[in-house]
Structures are given as C-alpha cells and as structure tokens.
Structure 1
C-alpha cells in the first residue's frame, strides 16, 4: 500500500490531542475523461464516492457497499489499490480535538447504467447526487469554491481536489 500524501487542514493547529480515528474506502471510476463523482449541494463540491469502513468489515466489501449506496453502481469490480491519504482535520464534537482519517483509494469498474441510490438521510438532506463529470470540470469547480472560501465549504474539499488532480495527471488519457 502506497502513501499518496498527508494532509493537515489549514484550521488545525496541532496533530496532538483527543483523536477520533476513521478509515474510509473510496472509488475511482473512470470512463474516458469522465469520472463518477458525488456532487453535494450543501458544500457545493465534487467528491469521490465512498465512506467509512465498519468495525470488522473488509475494506473492499465496504467500498462496494458505499459505491452501491451512494451511486447506484452495480457489478462493481475492485481492480487495484491506488494508495491512501492520511488526513488530519478539526472535529465538531467536543469530546475530540481532531479527526485522523485514512482514506484508501481503489480503481474500480462498474456496470454502464447506474441503479437507484440508497443514501442515508443526512446525504439526502445535504443534496448529494451521483454524476458523471469530466475530471477537469470537477477540479475547476472545486478550485473555484476553495478560492472564494465559500461559507458552506466542506472540510473534505482539500483532499478531494488533491485526488482529482492526481487522477487527472496520472490516469486520464487526453
């Protein structure tokens, strides 16, 4: 497994303190120059589909579950572990000072047609929806949101934009 990078959120002063540890699996699903992403209205950003790994859950099982729930993907093939990012960011619950998230990224293929999603209530409330988007367009959009420091900007946009740029430079054939 390859460490892609370590990210420290700009508002985080220290990596020390009471830490909530989370592990996540995220899918990179490409079709030519387009990528399967989640657009979230609340944060006005694009992100790679995926999410938390449950206690005792196999990482690829978690990835397939998340892809199916969030995007409606079927016939998911997990092809390769692309690498992982170690991320430190502020956490909103008072019993923790920060979150340390390890996000594992996998190259995947899915069936041509997406089925209905099975999103959680908070994902629906946040206006999350799957979309096929040109990678370059998603990067430009997220960069614009970050440059404006929009009030609604989510904490994961730094990680997501970094990964989209990496995907664009290493995986997209122009």
Structure 2
C-alpha cells in the first residue's frame, strides 16, 4: 500500500526509545460530497471510522468488523486500497515510550441503512457518534478545532490530512 505520509509527534525527539506498533484499518465511505465519519464530542472532531486490527486478523476483516461496530455499516463491499498514514506518537503507559501507529485506509461501499452500533465503553464515554457529513464542512470544523481547542486529540491532524487527500483524489 502506498505511503501517504509519515508523521512524528512534536513531543518525540528520538525514535530510539521502546516502541510498539499498532495497526489500524480505516474506512472511506462516500456518497457524493458526504462522507461517513465519527464525531467525538470529547475532542470536538470528525474522524474516519475504523480502529485496531486484532491479533491474527487481516486488514480487511478488521476494517469490516470496525465499520460494523462503530457505525452499524453492513454489507461492506468493493473494498480498495487508498493509502497508509504512519505516525510516531508518545505512549504514556508502562513498558513503552512510543507507539508506531499505522493506519491502513480503504475506500469501500456499504448498504445505505446503518444498523445499531456496538461501541466500546470508552467510545460511548467520549461521545462518539456515526454521522454523514459534508466533507468540506468536516475539514473546516477540524481545522477550527485544531486552531482553537485545548482538548483536541492526537488523531485530528491525521484525520484532517486524510480528509483533504480524499477531496483531492476522490471527489
């Protein structure tokens, strides 16, 4: 899969610390200029649906599972590679200093109606909700959050970059 970008968090000055790799699959589902996203109230941002690939799970199975859990999407089809966003972030748990986050992004189709989500408790607590959003409005919203919000999450830079790249290449 082509590398879209490699990013190192400003808090990391040296990649020689203890590091682990986390792989995620993210879905790009478009309907004209509308895109299926997750709005997270805690961080006041829009992100692509998707998440961690489980041990022994391939990227596509992880993508389909995550889309079902986070958005209620079903009959995921016509899956095609978009690109990889790689990032190095600080890790604030025992045993590791850095997480090497690899987000594998795929364009796909789903059935129009969404079923019930199966969000994890932390996702519910963060106020995560699947929404269809005009992609240009989502980019503008994320850019405003980036410039003004002290509570922004680490993923918003990745997500805003990806949304802009989707506009450039897919719309």
TM-score range (shorter-chain normalised) is: over 0.9
Shift of residue 93, structure 1, vs aligned partner: 0.8
Cross-structure match for 1:140: 140
Cross-structure match for 1:88: 88
- After superposition, the C-alpha distances for 1:131-153 in whole angstroms (9 at most, x for unaligned) are 000111111111111112x2211
Equivalent positions of 1:117-156 (< 5 A) are 117-148=117-148, 150-156=149-155
Q: Which runs of 5+ in 2 are unaligned?
A: none
Shift of residue 7, structure 1, vs aligned partner: 1.1
RMSD: 1.0
Shift of residue 14, structure 1, vs aligned partner: 2.2
Which whole-Å CA distance do the structure 2 matches of 1:79 and 1:64 have between them?
Answer: 10
Shift of residue 2, structure 1, vs aligned partner: 0.7
Cross-structure match for 2:59: 59
The TM-score, its normalising length taken from structure 1, stands at: 0.95
Residue 29 of structure 2 aligns to a residue whose secondary structure is strand
Cross-structure match for 1:5: 5
Say whether residues 1:19 and 2:23 are aligned partners: no
Equivalent positions of 1:108-123 (< 5 A) are 108-123=108-123
Which whole-Å CA distance do the structure 1 matches of 2:8 and 2:142 have between them?
Answer: 18
Shift of residue 39, structure 1, vs aligned partner: 0.3
Cross-structure match for 2:164: 165
